[in-house]
């Protein structure tokens, strides 16, 4: 078996297990794509040749979101009937290329079931490290859990930390894994000393968190993070140094995720 055939095998094996609601199988597919030795895909080029400066991926739309189509093996390339050029690349490299422009990746769109779409937010997870970001789609709400001592201490410590502009909060339920309390950090300054001071602020505050309650932080300046996107659109700060909360914006539908039937 050639290296290319072996690489395609793992992606295709996990791809066959993906069905609506099977987020465990979908996560296995993301892990296969994120592994350089097993995550190769055959990107379909609409213009140019592989390696040429004018090479351009194809584009397809699903539920209003853009995707670059690809196939998962030479056999699938033949089955697709694609008669233009293509290039074989690691899924990790494709993820790094596509997600900043809010493009997803669509595997085997020619397949009888329409293939599987990977939203750009999940490509970002592949690019950044799957274990560093929660598995989406995410369900986000205002926190219902009462932790007044934590909020009071955090607010007090934030006021003593000049780098902090404001704080927001959300209750986040990942597609897989335990729900957690997310604290959105909006800061004036991102220099190393300022970042260290904000980290120390959180460390000084988490002692007031009840045992068993997971707490995570998210940078409000991260334009690609779905939790930060939701917080910016829906939640006023519970601490605001400037005392002038920004107007609440209308949420963007799906926060980067298409409806479940459109992707996986």
Instruction: Report residue 53's pLDDT band, with 50, 70 and 90 as the boundaries.
Output: confident
- Least confident stretch, 1-5, 88-92, 235-239: 1-5
Look at strands 103-107 and 116-118 and give their pairing: antiparallel
Can you give the pLDDT at residue 3?
A: 43
Can you give the pLDDT at residue 176?
A: 87
Average pLDDT over the chain, rounded to an integer = 88
Structure tokens at 187: 């800061």
Can you give the pLDDT at residue 203?
A: 96
Q: How far apart are CA 224 and CA 257, in angstroms?
A: 12
Q: Spell out the domains of the chain, with CATH numbers in brackets.
A: 3-133 (3.40.1350.90), 139-261 (3.30.300)
Instruction: Report how far apart, in Å, the C-alpha atoms of 129 and of each of 10, 30, 31, 92, 257 are.
Output: 19, 10, 9, 10, 18
Structure tokens at 83: 């008669």
Compute the average pLDDT of residues 3-22.
76
pLDDT tens profile 149-172: 999 999 999 999 999 999 999 999
pTM above 0.85, yes or no: no
- Whose tokens are 């729900």? That residue is 179
Q: Over 60: is that where the pLDDT of 97 sits? A: yes
Compute the average pLDDT of residues 215-227.
95
Neighbouring residues of 135: CB distance < 8 A, sequence distance ≥ 6: 23, 27, 125, 174, 175, 176, 177
Can you give the pLDDT at residue 136?
A: 82
């Amino acid at each position: 078996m050639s290296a290319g055939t072996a690489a395609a095998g793992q992606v295709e094996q996990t791809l066959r297990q993906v069905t609506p609601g099977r987020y465990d199988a979908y996560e296995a597919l993301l892990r296969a794509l994120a592994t350089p030795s097993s995550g190769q895909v055959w990107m379909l080029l609409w213009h140019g040749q592989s390696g040429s400066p004018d090479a351009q991926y194809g584009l397809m739309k699903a539920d209003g979101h853009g995707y670059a189509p690809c196939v998962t093996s030479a056999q699938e390339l033949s089955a697709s009937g694609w008669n233009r050029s293509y290039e074989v690349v690691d899924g990790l490299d494709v993820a790094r290329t596509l997600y900043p422009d809010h493009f997803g990746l669509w595997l085997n769109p020619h397949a009888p079931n329409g293939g599987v779409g990977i939203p750009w937010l999940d490509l970002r997870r592949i690019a950044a490290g799957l274990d560093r970001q929660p598995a989406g789609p995410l369900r986000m709400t205002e926190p219902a859990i009462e932790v007044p001592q934590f909020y009071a201490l955090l607010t007090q410590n934030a006021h003593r930390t000049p780098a902090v502009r404001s704080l927001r909060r959300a209750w986040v339920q990942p597609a897989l894994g335990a729900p957690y309390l997310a604290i959105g950090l909006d800061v004036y300054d991102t220099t190393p000393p300022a970042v260290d001071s904000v980290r120390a602020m959180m460390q000084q505050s988490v002692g007031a968190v009840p045992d068993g309650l997971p707490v995570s932080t998210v940078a409000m300046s991260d334009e690609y993070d779905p939790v930060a996107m939701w917080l910016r659109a829906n939640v006023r700060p519970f601490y605001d140094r400037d005392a002038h909360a920004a107007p609440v914006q209308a949420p963007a539908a799906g926060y980067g995720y298409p409806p479940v039937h459109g992707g996986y």
